[in-house]
Structure 1
Amino acid sequence: MRLVIITGMSGAGRRTAAHTMEDLGWYVVDNLPALMIPHLMEIAANNKIRRVSVILDVRSAALVDQMPQLETALEANGIRPEVLFLEATDAVIVKRQESSRRPLPLQGDGRLVEAIVKERRLLAPLRSGADMVIDTSNLTVHQLGSRVAHAYGGERDQMVRIAILSFGFKNGLPIDADLVFDVRFLPNPHWVPDLRPMTGLSEPVSSYVLSQPGAVEFLDQLEGLLSTMAPGYVREGKRQLTIAVGCTGGKHRSTAMSEELARRLSAVGYHVGVIHRDLGLE
């Protein structure tokens, strides 16, 4: 099991880091008291959850004092916690907090700058012992997400997750699609009596559709297009992509082409899911 504790200065991007971890498939818990983490890990183990991330901030003045006890309890169960510490300059934190209009945890009725100084002093021992320190002063949220994904994601986590949706134009465009492609340029199996009762999930229909002029070439070009676009989506923080493939009714051509596209993309390492929205509709 892996445990990553995300901590650091308020306003330095803990929330962005946590969202990235969630996108990578980690189980994320926010502001759990430090001494409850061993119990959380027991629950996670019983539920076969292997990657856990916990966000801790300075709201508990005992946080730093509790870390040695926490580490001892975890290591007794074979878990070595990894600490990710996020920081930023005082000027950047002031600017971010003024933009969000939220006070710092230690600010109370005092000045923002005084709260930053106090928080930095209290968290200094955690920073010195952290496994990774990221200064987010000059990073966008997308760049921070990329840094976190590079550190805590596997090779496949650096790739966008793709949902392929087949549909019929006569039933309307899918409103959640990022990219829409039209395969009505291919002959319709509906007009082949033996194929009409079948769907694009059947081998005869799939072979018929894929053997048509332009079908394989279309898939080749679409695969090449996605190989160019997908890394850019990840760099910009978009890790979920929905590709809609449509024909007239959503039964034959779009279904067969979606299945073949999913096969191709899976073969080169993408996380791919396929949904046939209109299959079975008349």
Structure 2
Amino acid sequence: MSAAPGPGADSDQQAFVLLTGMSGAGRSTAADVLEDRGWYVVDNLPPRMLVDLLELTVDGARQPQRVAAVVDVRSRNFTTELAAALRELRDRGWSPRTVFVDATDEALVRRFESVRRPHPLQGDGLLLDGIRRERRLLGDVRASADVVVDTTGYNVHQLTAKVDDLLSSSEDDRLRLAVLSFGFKYGIPLDADVVLDLRFLPNPYWDPELRPYTGRDEPVRDFVLGQPGAREYLAAAAEMMRFAVEGYLAEGRRNVTVALGCTGGKHRSVVAVEEFIRLLQPPDGVALTPFHRDLGRE
């Protein structure tokens, strides 16, 4: 079959997604979201067939359908075949957007145990052996992915919203900046590029009148931002990120996650995310999206 030239990089990445990641981390859920949104999704595709898949979905105008290919380590020689396929795609003018779903080992163990299924690489060993073997095999793929999505603390609805946000951006958006609140006691997000710690501020949790509220409520917001150094810290963080954003744009980064954490992800970090977004004022072409990972867990 003759090679089909790809369109420009931005529309190309938006129209062709390579979905991969750890088994049990949510690949199937993410694929279902794309399919529900009208994407043509192929699951468990051998990497060597990626080029054939893309050529088959190019119409007469040489514009692709929105195509997502789910690839994983069930394919033999996964890493070498995937690297070769990606090189060939680039040679033909295509540059798929790689989305890698991940979760902590502990979360993956719980998920496999809850459905009473073995890990595909477990063999005669323990469940954790299979997870660690897969993590080693996917190390280079994860490092080169355009987006890493940590699903550790997500339910199905939160993962759906995350995938929607990642893949429904305007073509005018050169960078999507996710600003995420979280609780350290639930773990640092695996997909965070920048982590800021709000635990130096007094915790509203210890005030019986403020404990029932969240960082979205005015009493908690006034308490947090009224603490010495709170506004100054967030203003300095926003100024730092303005410099970083310029660098991300220059380097062609498409997705960046800034995570702001407190103890439980309910009070200080939620306030900080809203204030940080207000202060940042990024240039045109940067889309800001707030996420509150652990809000509602207490």
TM-score w.r.t. structure 2 length? 0.50
- Measure the CA separation in 1 of the matches of 2:125 and 2:83: 31
Gaps of 5+ in 2: 1-11, 171-298
Aligned to 2:58, which of 42, 45, 48? 45
Tell me the residue number matched to 1:78: 93
Aligned to 2:102, which of 87, 93, 98? 87
Gaps of 5+ in 1: 156-282
Q: Which amino acid aligns with 1:12?
A: A
Matched residue of 1:46: which SS?
Answer: coil
Q: Which amino acid aligns with 1:13?
A: G
| 1:147 matches 2:162 | yes
Q: Which amino acid aligns with 1:92?
A: A
- Measure the CA separation in 2 of the matches of 1:91 and 1:30: 25
Aligned to 2:32, which of 16, 19, 24? 19
Q: CA deviation at 1:107?
A: 1.0
Q: Which amino acid aligns with 1:51?
A: R
Q: Is the 8 A contact 1:27 1:49 kept in 2?
A: no
Tell me the residue number matched to 1:135: 150
Matched residue of 1:7: which SS?
Answer: strand
Q: Which runs of 4+ in 1 moved over 4 A?
A: none
Task: Describe the superposition over 1:230-267 as per-residue Cα deviations: whole angstroms up to 9, x where unpaired.
Answer: xxxxxxxxxxxxxxxxxxxxxxxxxxxxxxxxxxxxxx
Q: CA deviation at 1:101?
A: 1.2
Aligned to 1:57, which of 72, 93, 96? 72
Tell me the residue number matched to 2:253: none
Q: CA deviation at 1:132?
A: 0.2
Q: CA deviation at 1:49?
A: 4.6
Tell me the residue number matched to 2:111: 96
Q: CA deviation at 1:125?
A: 0.5
Tell me the residue number matched to 1:31: 44
| 1:114 matches 2:126 | no
Q: Is the 8 A contact 1:74 1:80 kept in 2?
A: yes
Q: Which amino acid aligns with 1:71?
A: L
> What aligned pairs does 1:1-282 form with structure 2 within 5 A after superposition?
1=12, 2-46=15-59, 49-154=64-169
Matched residue of 2:86: which SS?
Answer: helix
- Measure the CA separation in 2 of the matches of 1:4 and 1:103: 28
Task: Describe the superposition over 1:106-156 as per-residue Cα deviations: whole angstroms up to 9, x where unpaired.
Answer: 01221101111101011000000000001100011110111110011256x
- Measure the CA separation in 2 of the matches of 1:57 and 1:96: 18
Q: Is the 8 A contact 1:24 1:153 kept in 2?
A: no
**Count of residues paired in the alignment:** 155
TM-score w.r.t. structure 1 length? 0.53
Q: Is the 8 A contact 1:17 1:145 kept in 2?
A: yes
- Measure the CA separation in 2 of the matches of 1:150 and 1:12: 18
Tell me the residue number matched to 1:241: none
- Measure the CA separation in 1 of the matches of 2:71 and 2:117: 18
- Measure the CA separation in 1 of the matches of 2:103 and 2:166: 19
- Measure the CA separation in 2 of the matches of 1:90 and 1:108: 17
Tell me the residue number matched to 2:267: none
Q: CA deviation at 1:65?
A: 1.4
Q: Is the 8 A contact 1:4 1:82 kept in 2?
A: yes
Q: CA deviation at 1:61?
A: 4.4
- CA RMSD, aligned part only? 1.5
Higher Rg: 1
- Measure the CA separation in 2 of the matches of 1:101 and 1:116: 15
